[in-house]
Amino acid sequence: MRINETSEDDLRRSQLGDDLLMALISYLYKKPAEQKLPLLQLKNRDMAYVRVDDLDIPRIFHDVLIAFAERRDADPSGSVRKVSAQNGIRFILTIYLSINDVETQTYRSIYNAMYANDRRETFRHEVQHILDIKRFRDKSAVKSTMSNNNYQDYYNSPLELNAYFHNVAEPILNQLRFIQKHPDVFELVERLPDDFRAFLANRLAHLYGAHRAFWKHLTDDNKRRVISRLKRLYDLYQDTYGACVEKHRLSQQQERAVDAALGDVDINTSDA
């Protein structure tokens, strides 16, 4: 099964992931700092959790429970588990944190952990899995677990291909969403190179960890698909940024014309 997305699809899905992440971080921050999260036990393992009912989020995530579990390795990781519907929950999104004792996980410690960039990337990655699982009718297509260290099959599976694409495209997706929301302050966004090849080379050079492994193990066909999707986003970015530049130029031109006109008019209204 192949995932075919438009740039608008990618932006919408990116926004959904960011909405859920920001709602979670805001919720954690507002809770009493030293209060412990409630715990659930899954496969003889205690996990702190947050029910999305407590968050102001899009309806599509109403059946998701966000859990936090201990994992002693340093690499950020997460997982999505589809469960039999129970109390309205169908998905458990787990983020693994390097905290020694899960029972000491306070709202502030989880907030601090989730503020790290690599945890945010992991969270957004898992959110893409949930969105894909919800829309795939062929449930066999959603399996993406690693078996026998077969990285090629893992990274080229539809689920991982799409989620890792969003990780790779995250910088340009974030910039595009910002410009579209705040066109009047577009200058705050770093201008991308005028040449797509320069942009692509720079982005690939800055991949690290699992993202670098993802690119390394992609088939040639899937590399072309990733590049094609990036190019569509890049073109949309250039068009959007260019439109903001032109609007700003015309606005300044109009202001100068008004100033010049006022300079030619005697606006002294004092009585003779």
pLDDT digit string (tens) for the chain, length 272 residues: 445 578 899 999 999 999 999 999 999 999 999 999 888 887 777 788 898 877 888 789 989 999 998 876 656 789 998 888 777 888 999 998 875 545 568 899 899 888 888 889 999 999 999 999 988 754 545 555 555 578 999 999 999 999 999 999 999 999 999 999 998 888 888 889 999 999 999 999 999 889 999 999 999 999 999 999 999 999 999 999 989 888 878 877 777 777 777 776 665 655 54
Helix axes 7-30, 107-114, angle to 10 degrees: 150
Q: What is the tally of helices (H) and strands (E) in the chain?
A: 8, 5
pLDDT of residue 268: 61
Q: What is the three-class DSSP state of 97?
A: strand
Asked whether 30 and 56 are in contact (CB, 8 A), the reply is no
Rounded to two decimals, the pTM is 0.85
pLDDT of residue 115: 84
* Burial class of 30 by CB neighbour count within 10 A (0 to 12, 13 to 18, 19+): exposed
d(Cα 128, Cα 131) in Å, to the nearest integer? 5
Q: Where are the domains of the chain?
A: 1-135, 143-263
pLDDT of residue 1: 44
pLDDT of residue 99: 59
pLDDT of residue 266: 61
